[in-house]
Structure 1
Amino acid sequence: MPTPTTFTQHIFKNISLIALSILFLPLDAFITATCLLWNFSQRFSDPPPAAPRNEPRRTVVVSSLCMAKGLLIARSFHLAGHKVIGVDFDTAHYAHSPVISSGAFSAALARYYRVATPRTDESRAKYATDMVDIIKKEGADLWICVSGVASTTEDALIKATVERETKCKVFQPDPETCDQLHEKHEFIRLVKEAGLRTPLTTLVTSREEVYEVLQQHPSTQFIVKCVELDDVSRSDMTQIPQPTPEKTEKFINSLDISPNKRWVVQEFIHGDEYCCHAVIVRGIVHAFVACPSSEMLMHYKPLPADCSLSRAMLAFVRKLVKTLEGGQLTGQLSFDFLIDPMEAKKKPESVKLFPIECNPRTHTAVILFKDQPQQLANAHLKLLEKDDHAPKDGKIAGVPAKETDIIGVAAPHVDRFTKKDYYWIGHDLVTDVAIPVSDFLMMKIGVYECLRQVSWYAVKVLTWKDATFEFWDPLPWFWLYHVYYPWMFVTSLLTGKRWSRVNTSTTRVFESY
């Protein structure tokens, strides 16, 4: 299980990060001011983005501007010439924060709103009312739900209300589909029914059921994951059975398993992890990208669109979505896969995938479309086009689009001078500079290892792209590191609420104990 955060660590982490923000404040303020002054001067010579000829200018609502993926989609629609309305929940991911998200300051937004957070029956009703009122007021044509883990189903539930009471279309799967894809055991069942390979997965509601799985499969290694949202167990990759029965029993007994807190016991697959993000309209994939992955992905490097692994993941997505919602699913889906590296090396043309998870919402990998705003916006706008593939005579609709119709990230050799790797400069400043330097001063690592990590950070600054910073839109980047997070760390100190990790891409802080 994750190591508890001590009081000393809690104080040191928060104060250090606040101090780091203050240290870089003059430099970042200078960079931001320079960008703003240049952009202001260019307003008199450069016309604003205009919608392509023969295409209408749409009003698009984009939610979750607090996350990099929401901000990226909002910027894409703005650069494509459309009017963008931003929406965030009225509380931060970690604490009831009066500080609004960094995305609220984006130049891509024509308007910005904060809405009720759907946590109780009353707030859920208020959230639905808020969204309908905003959509009516702005005359929105499309709502792109950039949902968080806790709000995916909530957005799907109010989809019918929004589409019934307004002309706006909602880019989100149905509630039942969201629930099935989100829960690991249900997702595995759907994959099996589609005739695709899966790891052995069992839903358990008691510790006794965990022992039963181990007895039924004595030669198989498993990991256990909580079905419900649980920050403490999220990163735990402990395998069972352990080397001794006593260690196995100790680990299983430490798990809080009950009918109200369900877990899955899943076969542990040795291999490399990959993920993909797909934009789907009526069962047809219109945008797709794949990249290497990890448990908490903070660096994004796309796979070439024409490589065998990317093609295999695309084929998987196409086959699965044809079985969902009668072949008419619309939404953004992301999948996690494990690949046996030896198998992929021996037979790259027929690589086999082990799907382990699906997130029926936007994946941060969408930032890999940062250089293709027009194409990404057009992929979503397909929903507003007339449906020429309506099901007839009970047949499943949604004939897969041709590969040439799908936007993806070009292979590196096609555009080798364009930066294709993305990172968050503030996150890596801590992991690649602050922590190694601290470890060196405390004599935990040598000078060579410290310099190696610091130099690697310099390489990323010079050759990679920051996922949040844009020269034409610098305020979200500045606000994120010098207002939003510092206030969150101050709140952590004042409340005593401890955290274990920070996901800079989603602004989510994982609770500790």
Structure 2
Amino acid sequence: MASRLDNLLLLFVVVASLPLATLLLWLNYAAVILASQRSKIPFRKLKSTPKKTILVTGTANAQGLNIARALERAGHRLIGADLQSLGHLDISRRSRALTKHYALPPLSAAADASYFARWVLEIVTRENVDLWIDCSHDIPLDAIALTRERVEGNTRCACIAADRNSSRYFKDKETLLEFFRGRNLPAPEMHRVRSRGDIHNVLNHGQGQKQYLLKSPMKSKLEVSQTLLPRRTLSQTYQDVSLVKITPGSSLILEEYLDSSTKYQCTAIAIRGSVEAFWVKRILASGVDVAAGGPALQQALRSYTEAVVRELGHDFSCHLTLSFVLSERITHAGVAQLILPVEGSLRLHPTFVPTAGLPGSSSLAETYLSMLRSVANGMAITSTPSFRKHVTNSKTSQPIKESYFLPDTISDLFWEPCKGLLLLRVSPREVLGSIGALTQKLLLGREAYYDFWDPVPAFWQYTIVLAWRVLVGTT
């Protein structure tokens, strides 16, 4: 009932603010026209390599849209593509950053890897694409990997997307952690047990210093049994294990339990087996993003990410997202903290959006365009000296700031604190602090979908699309 009331309230706010949003949109366009007329050189163009044609799949989400904007600012021709099933809800179809937009097959057809690959290959061939960047979220990794194989085998187009070699390690958590451990990288334990004796063997090996979560490998995250072993006493442990039912031929998963109240989410852009851009943020149990920690911790997270990229091979060119937790271990010298991975993906995380603002556009564009460097005698070369300078300094350049989503920010920093105040759960001082943080973010931050030179996608996302999703019950 509360969710329904929240949705109705959200719909009312969207409809009531539509006249104001429309007025702001026209004022924005008037400012764009004035700024363009006063500047002889287009303000939004940046120096870069010779003009290239770049295909970005997944432009309907904020990540793909902002990456396309950054590359368009650098003076390149951008082609966008996303699932046909989105229809008029595809905000990128209205973006000024895209020269053309293609509707890919719906998700049901994209599951046919060969069918999807033919579509993308046709676009690459027709538009003479130089670089394909995949920013999709829903398209299966198998389809992306086959598409990359077909594109690289039949055209001269470079690809930043999942390949067959790397995607097989990211199919499920068990395979991923086994990949880490097989490369001598620290990772949580995960054992497939087929009897109660196997369970006791794992618990005895942990010597009481580790906890394990017993679950079925077929269950989803929401259905995982919260059976923690060992229990406080040995008799309780034996009692719980004796109640475990393992049928012949089946197995259970005994996974090392880690306190995930604080996670570190790392996002990287890997080009030819090297990390060319890296971001890290700390996520509390409440879902709030905070500062990532000290330089030593950030360097340790980056070193681990670089080690993973090296193990994936020198041809690995893809987005990479890894989530870590800190685990405390008792040693003879005291208490040691280990950084252990708990999740991994060959995509940009849905909450991660690099800003498309002018300060970060050049660095972000050059990171992706470094994929177009030619290779001679094992050395990466380029015909543009200034471009070589950008590529060389990419690992030590200033970090690209992350954007925020306006509705989520208003909900977290204004609506929820005010509701908590009415219910006497938070103090007025905490509400004022949240409002101050909201004001600071609105004034100094950058919204995920909004761009001064390209305001229609943000207007469409937060009016038409948001209202439609509330009506069909998908929020």
State whether structure 2 residue 445 is matched by structure 1 residue 426: no
Contact 1:90 1:116 in 2 (8 A): yes
State whether structure 2 residue 88 is matched by structure 1 residue 99: yes
State whether structure 2 residue 10 is matched by structure 1 residue 17: yes
> Deviation at 1:379?
1.8
Report the counterpart of residue 344 of structure 2 in structure 1: 358
> Deviation at 1:121?
7.5
Distance in 2 between residues matched to 1:106 and 1:175, nearest whole Å = 32
Distance in 1 between residues matched to 2:102 and 2:402, nearest whole Å = 32
Counterparts in 2 of 1:51 and 1:439: CA distance versus 1, 3 Å: closer
Give the letter aligned to residue 347 of structure 2: R
Contact 2:114 2:146 in 1 (8 A): no
Contact 2:67 2:356 in 1 (8 A): no
> Deviation at 1:62?
0.9
State whether structure 2 residue 84 is matched by structure 1 residue 90: yes
Residue by residue over 1:141-198, the C-alpha shift from the partner in whole angstroms, topping out at 9 and shown as x without a partner, is: 1110113165333211211112233332221232241131342222222222222211
Distance in 2 between residues matched to 1:79 and 1:342, nearest whole Å = 49
Report the counterpart of residue 324 of structure 1 in structure 2: 312
State whether structure 2 residue 164 is matched by structure 1 residue 183: no
Report the counterpart of residue 321 of structure 2 in structure 1: 334
Which stretch shifts more, 165-174 or 330-339?
Answer: 165-174
Report the counterpart of residue 296 of structure 2 in structure 1: 308
Counterparts in 2 of 1:230 and 1:102: CA distance versus 1, 3 Å: farther
Distance in 2 between residues matched to 1:22 and 1:422, nearest whole Å = 25
> Deviation at 1:51?
6.4
Contact 1:302 1:420 in 2 (8 A): no
- 3-state SS of paired residue (2:362): helix
Which stretch shifts more, 263-272 or 190-199?
Answer: 263-272
> Deviation at 1:368?
5.8
Distance in 2 between residues matched to 1:469 and 1:68, nearest whole Å = 9
Contact 2:404 2:446 in 1 (8 A): yes
Distance in 2 between residues matched to 1:151 and 1:24, nearest whole Å = 37
Distance in 1 between residues matched to 2:90 and 2:258, nearest whole Å = 38
| 1:61 aligned to which of 55, 58, 62 | 55
> Deviation at 1:228?
7.9
Report the counterpart of residue 449 of structure 2 in structure 1: 468
State whether structure 2 residue 189 is matched by structure 1 residue 200: yes
State whether structure 2 residue 147 is matched by structure 1 residue 153: no
Contact 2:292 2:298 in 1 (8 A): no
Report the counterpart of residue 167 of structure 1 in structure 2: 156
Percent identity between the two aligned chains: 21
Give the letter aligned to residue 52 of structure 1: K
Whichever of the two has the greater Rg, that structure is 2
Report the counterpart of residue 33 of structure 2 in structure 1: 40
| 2:365 aligned to which of 368, 372, 377 | 377
Counterparts in 2 of 1:207 and 1:473: CA distance versus 1, 3 Å: farther
> Deviation at 1:200?
1.5
Counterparts in 2 of 1:100 and 1:129: CA distance versus 1, 3 Å: farther
| 2:277 aligned to which of 276, 287, 298 | 287
Contact 1:334 1:361 in 2 (8 A): yes
- 3-state SS of paired residue (1:376): helix
Contact 2:203 2:230 in 1 (8 A): no
| 1:406 aligned to which of 391, 394, 404 | 394
Give the letter aligned to residue 29 of structure 1: T
Contact 2:113 2:142 in 1 (8 A): no
Counterparts in 2 of 1:266 and 1:341: CA distance versus 1, 3 Å: closer
Give the letter aligned to residue 362 of structure 2: Q
Counterparts in 2 of 1:470 and 1:438: CA distance versus 1, 3 Å: same
Contact 2:56 2:79 in 1 (8 A): yes
Distance in 1 between residues matched to 2:221 and 2:456, nearest whole Å = 30
Distance in 2 between residues matched to 1:145 and 1:278, nearest whole Å = 14
RMSD: 4.2
Contact 1:61 1:84 in 2 (8 A): yes
Contact 1:280 1:329 in 2 (8 A): yes
Distance in 1 between residues matched to 2:92 and 2:166, nearest whole Å = 29
Distance in 2 between residues matched to 1:389 and 1:263, nearest whole Å = 48
Counterparts in 2 of 1:189 and 1:33: CA distance versus 1, 3 Å: same
Give the letter aligned to residue 189 of structure 1: E
Report the counterpart of residue 386 of structure 2 in structure 1: none
Residue by residue over 1:372-418, the C-alpha shift from the partner in whole angstroms, topping out at 9 and shown as x without a partner, is: 22222222222222124659xxxxxxxxx99963346637xxxxxxx
Counterparts in 2 of 1:176 and 1:452: CA distance versus 1, 3 Å: same
Which segments of 5 or more consecutive residues in structure 1 lack a partner in the other structure? 1-7, 93-97, 392-400, 412-418, 493-498, 500-508
> Deviation at 1:56?
1.7
Counterparts in 2 of 1:172 and 1:302: CA distance versus 1, 3 Å: same
Report the counterpart of residue 68 of structure 2 in structure 1: 74
> Deviation at 1:83?
0.9
Counterparts in 2 of 1:131 and 1:298: CA distance versus 1, 3 Å: farther
Contact 2:54 2:79 in 1 (8 A): yes
Aligned length: 450
Report the counterpart of residue 382 of structure 2 in structure 1: none
> Deviation at 1:296?
8.7
Report the counterpart of residue 396 of structure 1 in structure 2: none
Distance in 1 between residues matched to 2:168 and 2:192, nearest whole Å = 15
> Deviation at 1:481?
1.1
| Larger RCO (CA within 8 A; separation ≥ 6) | 1
Distance in 2 between residues matched to 1:74 and 1:229, nearest whole Å = 38
State whether structure 2 residue 270 is matched by structure 1 residue 275: no
Which stretch shifts more, 20-29 or 423-432?
Answer: 20-29
Report the counterpart of residue 30 of structure 1 in structure 2: 23
> Deviation at 1:226?
8.4
- 3-state SS of paired residue (2:137): coil
Give the letter aligned to residue 489 of structure 1: V
Matches of residues 106-255 of structure 1 in structure 2 within 5 Å?
106-119=95-108, 123-148=112-137, 150-203=139-192, 217=206, 219=208, 220-223=210-213, 230=220, 232=222, 240-241=228-229
Name the TM-score, length of structure 1 as normaliser: 0.74
Give the letter aligned to residue 438 of structure 2: Y
> Deviation at 1:487?
0.3
Contact 2:404 2:448 in 1 (8 A): yes
Counterparts in 2 of 1:243 and 1:191: CA distance versus 1, 3 Å: closer
Contact 2:270 2:276 in 1 (8 A): yes
Which segments of 5 or more consecutive residues in structure 2 lack a partner in the other structure? 380-388
Distance in 2 between residues matched to 1:207 and 1:13, nearest whole Å = 47
> Deviation at 1:82?
0.9
Contact 2:214 2:229 in 1 (8 A): no
